[in-house]
Amino acid sequence: MHVRKTWKTTVVMFLAVAAVTTVTAAFYFNYAATACCTVAPLSSSSLLQEPSNAAAADNELSRSKLVSSAVRISKLYAVCETRDHLRSPADRDRFSRRRRQADDSTSVNVDKNAGNNYSKNGESETARDGDIGNDTALIYFITPTYPRREQIPELTRLGQTLMHVSRLYWIVADDRPDCSLQIMNLLPDFSIPYTYIASPMPSIYKRDPDAMPRGVSNRRAALNWIRLNHNINDSNAVIYFGDDDNTFHLDLFKEIRTTKKISMFPVGLVGEYGVSSPIIDKGKVVGFFDSWPAKRKFPVDMAGFAINVQLLFKYPYATMPYKVGFEEDRFLSALGIRLDEIEPKAENCTRILVWHTQTAKKPKPIVMVRSKATLPGSLATLLDQVTMLGIGGVYAVI
């Protein structure tokens, strides 16, 4: 009896130790992968997503030659592509001409100091931020995104908003293990300097689809990319998280650009109150108006704050936790922010310049056709696009 009990105890202890080790290893992996980020060269083709049929593949391959591929990978993320200096009208014209010439295989040099050395002619003519010079802070606009039917239209709409903003560097961080050719084809259209990263959510966080830390792995990757690529001595910069489905008034960029440490402002269409915002009295934050306080020190939406890049270097291990609902709060706490340091923006938090809009998701339709060969005119080619973009399925009965 005693012997059996001891045997049982040993087994239980062994299992407990194994469980603790596994959990520790899982957390260590996430932490280590975030903190380290050694990048090793890797061929771009091994990370590119395969187009879904031969015709599309031909089309994609010739187009993909136009895309500068600087694929680097760490345990956590792949840098699919980095593009800088595309802001002058001359650059834009040159680039669109290149896109039209399908046989052009020129690749664009990758600037290792991405985001640091913008020239005056890097300003957009249409920018609404006024005549701003090089001493003006750069905005790193981090967009987590993930593969779904609506991904390309969401990024198209967002890119066309960001086109109007000067000195903005777009980090598109995709929740997937590989790089999407469709997105690599799309991003140059906006003439915005950008980096496209692929960083999938670790599978341990996907167990409960209703409680997934959405956009965390990719935001963490983007933060690490900034830590590796931004030279704090060269340029001042502000970091903002802009989801792919949100809506941004151009005045928002004027507001956040002057962030010294941490700025906050209202976000419309959040929660049960219709808005989430700090409450301001005499220029200081005196509380928060948010329908889900949840004992958070900073009950704010992801789109409701901006930080100065210096904080990332002051707190080199601070990152966003995989904790649903507490991503903002724990991230801001890890950056050592005090309530009295918050800089209120948007007319003392009385204007809504960003909206937490959400796109309705509909199931993917399947189109049945008798035979692809007998489809009239342009239809077969159009339906190939539908398949390739994943917006619908096409099945030939014969």
Closest separation in Å from C-beta 334 to ligand UDP: 19
Q: Tally DSSP H helices, then E strands, for the chain.
A: 11, 17
CA distances from 109 to 85, 122, 138, 327 (A): 10, 16, 21, 35
| Torsion sign over Cα 271, 275, 281, 282 | positive
Q: What phi and psi values does residue 337 have, to the nearest 5 degrees?
A: -80, 140
Residue 326 touches ligand UDP, criterion: CB under 6 A: no
Stretch that binds ligand UDP, among 25-33, 78-86, 209-217, 321-329 (CB under 6 A): 209-217
Near ligand UDP by CB under 6 A, which window of 70-78, 143-151, 270-278, 377-385? 143-151
Tokens 């001493």 correspond to: 135
Q: Which of 123, 245, 343, 384 binds ligand UDP (CB under 6 A)?
A: 245
Binding mask 192-231 for Mn ion (x = CB under 5 A): ----------------------------------------
Contact 108, 187 (CB under 8 A): no
Instruction: Identify which range of 61-69, 156-164, 213-221, 327-335 contacts ligand UDP by CB under 6 A.
Output: 213-221
Write the DSSP symbol of residue 36: -
Residue 215 lies near ligand UDP (rule: CB under 6 A): yes
Q: CB under 5 to 8 A by kind: which of ligand UDP, Mn ion, none does 242 bind?
A: none
Question: Does 180 interact with ligand UDP (rule: CB under 6 A)?
Answer: no
Task: Give me the least distance between CB of 120 and Mn ion, in Å please.
Answer: 36
Return the residue of 358, 374, 381, 385 that touches ligand UDP, per CB under 6 A. 358
Active-site residue, selected from the candidate residues 60, 81, 328, 343: 328
Whole-number Å distance between alpha carbons of 200 and 43: 19
Angstrom distance (rounded) from CA 130 to CA 171: 23
Active site residue 328: yes
Q: How far is the CB of 303 from Mn ion (least distance, A)?
A: 9
DSSP element (H, E) containing 90: helix 89-100
Question: What do you get for the CA distance between the two ends of the chain, in Å?
Answer: 71
Q: Is 193 in the site for ligand UDP (CB under 6 A)?
A: no
Q: Which stretch binds ligand UDP (CB under 6 A): 53-61, 139-147, 178-186, 323-331?
A: 139-147
Cα–Cα distance measured from residue 258 to residue 237, given in angstroms and rounded to the nearest whole number: 9
Distance CA 328, CA 278 (A): 14
* Cβ pair 114, 82 in contact under 8 A: yes
Residue 218 interacting with ligand UDP (CB under 6 A): yes
Q: Which of 60, 84, 123, 245 binds Mn ion (CB under 5 A)?
A: 245
Report CA Rg, the chain. 23
- Positions touching ligand UDP (CB under 6 A) are 144-146, 175, 201, 212, 214-215, 218, 243-245, 358
Active site members: 328
